[in-house]
Structure 1
Amino acid sequence: MLNYSSAALLATSTYLSSVVSMLLRNVIFARILSPDSFSVALTFGLVITLTEQFGVISHELYMQRAKDGDELSFQATLQTINLVRGLILSLTLLTFAPLLNDFFRIPSDLFDYRFLAVIPLINGLRHLDPQRLHRQNDFSKSARIGITADLSSILVALLCALIWQSHWAFFVSFLFRHTMSTTLSHWWATRPFQLGFDKPLAFRLLAYSLPLMIFAAMKYLGTELDKVLIARFSGLAAFTLYFMSLMITANAANIITLGLNKIFVRRISEAKQSELSYVAASNGVIILYLSLPLLLSIIFFGESIIHLVFGSQYTPIQRLIPVVVCLVAVRQLSLWLNQLVVGRFETKLVLYAEMARIALLLALLPWIVMQEHIILFVLGFVACEWSFVLFMSIKLAKHIKGIKHLTAKLSAIVFCYLASFWALYEFTTEMTLLSKALLYVPTVSISLLLFYLKSITCREQTHNFINWVTRKGQHINRKF
């Protein structure tokens, strides 16, 4: 099996840097700003995510997949398309900003969402050369860019919060992070930034990305609508509490799934047809091997973390943590199946599965909105995630032998772990933090050991990682 520990560590460290810096920035703002100002600031991320998802063209993923993705003309065309995309998204935000103010019930004199239109334009000017190097499993420059921008943005966030002490501090920090990332992408590029247009390539990219563009819009509805609905119907205060719970939980798991995403997509794209089942299985089991113990950590300490990190003015919602953990765990399976499609097959397969998710959501939505309870919002989205996993596995069965059986097996693992997670949550609710810590160590050890003993893939990759760390340690010792 391919030893991808080195590339995986760099890709994961980049995402980890982003997650940690975002968490630290939010901690700074949550503690220095008033709860009302912090709630307004959190909607900025919702709006930018909405804009980016509805305008996604998946150019970076296509660069990994295309045979001519290393050519200069290919890169120039993608950079032109990315710039045009940024301009269109900026104009869209300028046009619809008043509707956003009405939707979130935030007066324009408090904050005008038209100010956010500059963000997509900045992102459209990004140099794609660091992403091109991912074709060779070289994530070093992307890691340097991400980590440098993230570390500097933390300092800027602190300075802004101390100076303004309002949501404008968040906006300036937000703007700085995107500007720094784009600037560094040019600074550390190995090729000059060029624009160009290859018409056949543009049509190829369009054919590849159009289903994903529709899928991204539907995915936003499937995975982000919960935040939007809570912000609209339960108020910004409830939205803030939910955002904090999800931030802790989802980012912990996404460190694994999204950090390894480009590596796993590349493995799928390069695998022979006869190897697809094996590669799919190894990708899936590695994701669960690494993400489930992290979710177990959230079950033990999540509510205490929210209280300790964000402050006593933000009281956690009882039983919200285990429900959010359920949602995030099932999303790991959804992301795994999505990787298989993006790396190898027609992206319209994702669109079909997303339509199944949206259909169930539309059926559940009237009842969920009427109840106006955050727990029910999340449970509804858990059901939608299961429908996505089921439908996608059925569609992939025509292309990957045994995928339905593999999906059922991994789903059973997730279900059993979630049942034990919920039981542990109820059992440890009244425990002290010290008692939880003492129980946590053997519990997470058992979780890892079960995967290690039952999976050859987990054993091989654990040994590969240990050997890689050992070699790095020896190399450092020789230097000193």
Structure 2
Amino acid sequence: MIRIITLLSGHGLASLSTLARNLLIARLLGPQDYGLAVALVLLAAAAEMGTTLGLPQLIVSHKKGASRKFQGVLHSIQIARGLLGAVMVLFCAAPLANLLGAPEVASLLRWAAIVPLVLGFTHLDPYRAQRHRKHLPHSLVLAIPATLSVAAIWPVSAWQTGPQIMLSLLLVQACASVAVSHLISRRPYRVCLQSSQVRQVLRYGLPLMGNGILLFAVLHGEKLVAGAGLGLAEMGLLAMGFALTLTPALILARSFQAYYLPKLRQDRSPVLGLSTLLGGSYLIAVASLAPLLVPFLGAGFAGLISVIPLLACLAALRLPKSALATAALASGRTHLPAIANLPRLLALPIIWLSFGWGGGIETLIRVAILSEITGVGIGILLAHTTPFPTRDILVASVIAGLILSDQLSLATLTCVIGWTLYAVGPSPLRIRSTA
């Protein structure tokens, strides 16, 4: 229980800090300039996700993950990742500025290249502690930098204006993340290269890199399409909607993965049913609480109220999808998450076409939900999930329907019944486990 609380507190504090930062910046800037600030975040995220090789997961799950030499190889690859990410940002800055109809901000966007360059020198030793289910070091690396980035808003906003504020905060968080990772590491930082181990890392990580690119499209593609098709103000509005509903879900999904990945190395515990019920609970919480924060943002963001239930449904689907990805990582089938993310990528042209037919943000979200459901279904089929949690999926589906029908009380009652049945034992509808 203490391990779970430690893990969730670190991820939870990081989540709340990120959300607080976005809320404060959105209030300072308004939808239009917040859209440009989001563009900076997108470039930093593209560099991170487009070069991901699963190094933190590998140091936990690989049989040589505790080796000093193997850790040194991972550090060398991490530095190369940072360099590659910086180059990606420099090349993508001008095209992104042109896509958003603001070519004059290309020079500002190029400064985001410093973020991946700095993160390339992160010490990976805090992740090694998770091999022994010690989550405090990882939690500190997450929570402290995110908290510092919030504390830096006031001094930064005193001498900067506009989207430059977001750039400075991203740099503060990146530098703090690297500093904290080195300060709390138990081993000295070292780099080394060994061709055989580099090949092992690339075999493990290249499918994850492909999935990272797909995941970037999943998490941020709709924002880019909205910015190009509807304008920066609509992009800022949608990005804030994702911040309110999706950011905590991603942190919860990462906590789920960090906790269960070491466990799944030793046994194949069924995690899909648990994650599905967590998704239903999360949906209720977000649909209840997120609307309370919208008035704080100002009149420019009032349009979010009507689409929060849809955005909450979309965010809740990340939890069962993350459970499937965790099981795939534990078994070394790193290609499965990429396949499950393909439907969301293929939906982007449909969203673009819908704008020409008079569609808006609500149409975008509905298409994204359908594609995400398809991705989860494909993930379940490919993972050969047994036992199949029929009852848990049915409960979560009923909760979603009630939330979209504005029946919050009934949705909460259904959720309580679902958790009670889960605690009692396996559903008679489940397929008997063969693994």
TM-score by length of 1: 0.83
Determine the C-alpha separation between the residues in 2 that align with 1:355 and 1:38.
Answer: 29
User: Which residue is 2:235 aligned to?
Assistant: 239
Match of 2:326, as an amino acid? Q
Amino acid at match of 2:131: R
Quickly say closer, same or farther: Cα 1:325–1:352, change in 2 above 3 A. Answer: same
TM superposition shift of 1:76 = 0.3
Contact 1:86 1:123 in 2 (8 A): yes
SS of aligned partner of 1:127: coil
Is the counterpart of residue 305 in structure 1 residue 293 in structure 2? yes
Residue number in structure 2 paired with 1:411: 393
Question: SS at the partner of 1:224?
Answer: helix
Q: 1:139 — aligned with what? A: 135
Task: Choose which of 361, 364, 380 in structure 1 pairs with 2:350.
Answer: 364
Please say if 1:346 is aligned against 2:333. Answer: yes
Q: Does 1:315 align with 2:302?
A: yes
1:51-450 alignment to 2 at 5 Å?
51-108=47-104, 111-271=107-267, 276=268, 279-280=269-270, 283-307=271-295, 309-317=296-304, 319-359=306-346, 361=347, 364-365=350-351, 367-371=353-357, 372-397=359-384, 400-402=385-387, 405-406=388-389, 408-424=390-406, 444=412, 446-447=413-414, 449-450=416-417
Contact 1:289 1:458 in 2 (8 A): no
4+ long deviations beyond 6 Å: none
CA contact (8 A) 1:286 1:458 kept: no
Percent of aligned positions that are identical: 18
Bigger CA radius of gyration: 1
Q: Distance in 2 between matches of 1:318 and 1:33?
A: 19
Q: Letter of the aligned partner of 2:405 in structure 1?
A: A
State the alpha-carbon separation in 2 of the partners of residues 193 and 312 from structure 1.
Answer: 49
Q: Quick one: which amino acid aligns to residue 66 of structure 1?
A: H
Contact between 2:398 and 2:411, CA under 8 Å: does it hold in 1? no
Note the C-alpha offset of 1:96: 2.9
Task: Report the number of matched residues.
Answer: 425
How far apart, in 2, do the equivalents of 1:255 and 1:192 lie? 29
- Which residue of 45, 52, 66 corresponds with 1:49? 45
Contact kept, 8 Å, 1:80 with 1:196, in 2: the verdict is: yes
1:63/1:70 contact within 8 Å kept: yes
Say if 1:22 and 1:222 are closer, same or farther in 2 by CA, change over 3 A: closer
Structure 1 pair 250/95, CA: closer, same or farther in 2 (3 Å)?
closer
Whole-Å Cα distance in 2 between the matches of residues 164 and 366 of structure 1?
A: 35
2:432 counterpart residue number: none
- Deviation (angstroms), 1:345: 3.8
Secondary structure of 2:104's counterpart equals coil
Distance in 2 (alpha carbons) for counterparts of 1:15 and 1:154 = 15
Q: Decide whether aligned partners of structure 1 residues 381 and 225 sit closer, same or farther in structure 2, where only a CA change above 3 A counts.
A: same
Whichever residue aligns with residue 421 of structure 2, its letter is: K
- Once residues 242 and 285 of structure 2 are traced to their aligned partners in structure 1, the CA distance between those partners, rounded to angstroms, is 14
Do the aligned residues in 2 keep the contact of 1:89 with 1:121 (CA within 8 Å)? Answer: yes
Q: Quick one: distance in 2 between partners of 1:366 and 1:25?
A: 30
Q: Helix, strand or coil: the match of 2:152?
A: helix
Residues 201 and 246 of structure 1, relative CA distance in 2, 3 Å threshold = same
1:9 aligns with 2:2: no
CA distance in 1, matches of 2:284, 2:127: 33
8 Å CA contact retained: 1:222, 1:384? no
Q: Which amino acid aligns with 2:419?
A: Y
- AA aligned to 2:86 is S
Q: Which runs of 5+ in 2 are unaligned?
A: 427-435
Q: Distance between the aligned counterparts of 2:250 and 2:84, measured in 1?
A: 29
Equivalences for 1:451-462 in 2 at 5 Å?
451-456=418-423
Alignment check: 8 A CA contact 2:395 2:414 kept: no
Q: Tell me whether 195-204 or 145-154 shows the greater mean CA deviation.
A: 145-154
| Residues 156-180 of structure 1: per-residue CA shift (max 9 Å, x gap) | 1121123323221221111101101
Report how far residue 357 of structure 1 moved: 4.7
8 A Cα contact 1:55 1:89, kept in partner: yes
Instruction: Quote the residue 2:26 is aligned against.
Output: 30
Shift of 1:48: 1.3
Farther-moved stretch of structure 1 (43-52 vs 350-359):
350-359
The residue type paired with residue 286 of structure 2 is: I
CA-based RMSD of the aligned residues comes to 2.3
Deviation at 1:457, TM superposition (A): 7.7
Structure 1 residues 145, 54: CA separation in 2 closer, same or farther (over 3 Å shift)? closer
Deviation at 1:10, TM superposition (A): 1.7
The residue type equivalent to 1:413 in the other structure is V
Q: TM-score, normalised by structure 2?
A: 0.91
Deviations 1:162-218 (A, max 9, x none): 332322122111110110110111111111100001221111111111111112212
* Contact 1:7–1:139 (8 Å) recurs in 2: yes
The letter of the residue matching 1:385 is E
Amino acid at match of 1:300: S
